[in-house]
């Protein structure tokens, strides 16, 4: 399985939420991220999991 790394803006488009909402979820540790230097990326399998099951704002998404 190939894992793609998305930018915050790409994730916000896929989830139909604002980029600031995605940043907030990252800051609250609700979405795990991959850091490449200073760049923050979100794995495609995490995004797929959110799309399939929805993001419960009380729980974080596990890898």
User: Among residues 11, 9, 8, which one has the least CA distance to residue 49?
Assistant: 11
**Could you tell me the two tokens for 61?**
């998404």
Is the whole-model pTM more than 0.75? yes
pLDDT tens, residue by residue, 7-23 = 999 999 999 999 999 99
In the predicted model, what is the mean pLDDT of residues 23-33? 95
User: What is the Cα–Cα distance from 53 to 45, expressed in whole angstroms?
Assistant: 12
Q: Cβ neighbours of residue 5 under 8 Å, at least 6 residues apart?
A: 34, 36, 41, 42, 43, 44
Domain ranges in the chain? 5-53
Q: How confident is the model at residue 53 (pLDDT cuts 50, 70, 90)?
A: confident
User: What is the Cα–Cα distance from 47 to 54, expressed in whole angstroms?
Assistant: 10
In the predicted model, what is the mean pLDDT of residues 25-33? 95
In the predicted model, what is the mean pLDDT of residues 43-52? 93
The reported pLDDT for the residue numbered 23 is 97
Write the CATH number of the domain with boundaries 5-53: 1.10.10
């Amino acid at each position: 399985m190939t894992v793609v790394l998305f930018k915050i803006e790409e994730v916000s488009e896929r989830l139909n939420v604002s980029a600031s909402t995605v940043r907030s979820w990252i800051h609250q540790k609700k979405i795990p991220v991959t850091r490449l230097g200073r760049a923050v990326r979100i794995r495609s399998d995490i995004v797929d999991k959110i799309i399939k099951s929805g993001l419960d704002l009380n729980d974080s998404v596990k890898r």
